[in-house]
Structure 1
Amino acid sequence: MDHQEQRGAAAVTPDETDLAILRLLSRDAGMGAAEIGRALDMTQPATWRRIKRLQDAGIIAGRRIELDNAALGFGVTVFLGIRLATKGRTSLEEFERAVTAIPEVQLVQHVLGQFDYRLRIVARDIADFERILRRRIMTLPGLGQVEANVMLSEERRPGPLG
């Protein structure tokens, strides 16, 4: 059953309790049902059932851990705007296949606007980024214009649930 079928099979409109659970999980995806239940004055089984229902409905799409890139030795984050030289379904698929194979590329976004793609790349330092740019990015199929923006700082925002 794919994501669309899951959503259709178990349509859920989150109530205030569901939203409170989602807020807690969005801050710390590792929280268990017992801990969430204590925070919301609910039993662990009732909390677990709500989380399971939200997962089955596709509202909770997964849980992730967040790594500290700097602590792992990746002190530079660069956002690249990429415009392809040629556009067409084949070039898009070929570009996407090649760019997702580059380990330093953390995020590939197909976007509308000045660029066709936006990439988030991590590197150990500027010299490492230059190596990645020259040896991996500049050799991508269909590559046209590239614009780099080095991230100086990042402020975390809580998201739509507050």
Structure 2
Amino acid sequence: MTELDHTDRRILRVLQRRGRISNAELAEEVSLSASACHRRLARLEETGTIAGYAAHLDRAAIGLGSNVFVEVTLAAQTEEALEAFEAAVARIPEILECHLMAGSADYLLKIVVADTEDFARLHRKHLARLPSVARLQSSFVLKKVRETTELPV
């Protein structure tokens, strides 16, 4: 883990909100010279503190306005079953996140689809065919109350 000082944290906060900001604007916002800001930014990237840059898309604007969370319980919890399940999940682009869980379900999936019909298609063609699955429990998101990618740094 990289030691982050107050200035590093300020840089990270600004970048999380305005990822396309120029180095000159970033430097001004965090009260550094452009060269000092560039050096810090390069260090944050090299150490992996900044893992990458991405554009946040409006899901509804691209026809993927429904979110579904699916709890998955596996029939077996052998290493082979876990690996086969995780490999299969990685090939389904609608699955945005897959988490191995402690609790009543083995995995929690975050899925994006156009609507309930699209989810039915995804369920038939992919989810129902995932290896070692004993049970799937799906929950549709009715309203997004809060969603952010900003980490509290």
- Per the normalisation by structure 2, the TM-score is 0.91
Pairs aligned (count)? 151
CA distance in 2, matches of 1:56, 1:96: 29
- Per the normalisation by structure 1, the TM-score is 0.86
After superposition, the C-alpha distances for 1:47-87 in whole angstroms (9 at most, x for unaligned) are 11001111222221222221111110112110111111111
CA distance in 1, matches of 2:127, 2:81: 15
Partner of 1:21: 11
Structure 1 residue 159, shift from structure 2 partner: 2.8
CA distance in 2, matches of 1:131, 1:103: 14
After superposition, the C-alpha distances for 1:75-130 in whole angstroms (9 at most, x for unaligned) are 21101111111111101111111111112111111222211111111111111111
Whether 1:131 aligns to 2:114 is: no
Identify the range of structure 1 (55-64 vs 83-92) with the bigger mean alpha-carbon deviation: 55-64
Letter in 2 for 1:125: D
CA distance in 2, matches of 1:34, 1:144: 54
Whether 1:83 aligns to 2:73 is: yes
Larger RCO: 1 or 2 (CA < 8 Å, sep 6+): 2
Letter in 1 for 2:37: T
Unaligned runs of 5+ residues in structure 1 are 1-6
Partner of 2:30: 40
- Identity %, equivalent residues: 35
Unaligned runs of 5+ residues in structure 2 are none
CA distance in 2, matches of 1:30, 1:81: 36
Partner of 2:134: 144
Matches within 5 A, 1:45-124: 45-124=35-114
> RMSD between aligned alpha carbons?
1.5
SS in 2 for 1:71: helix
SS in 2 for 1:81: strand
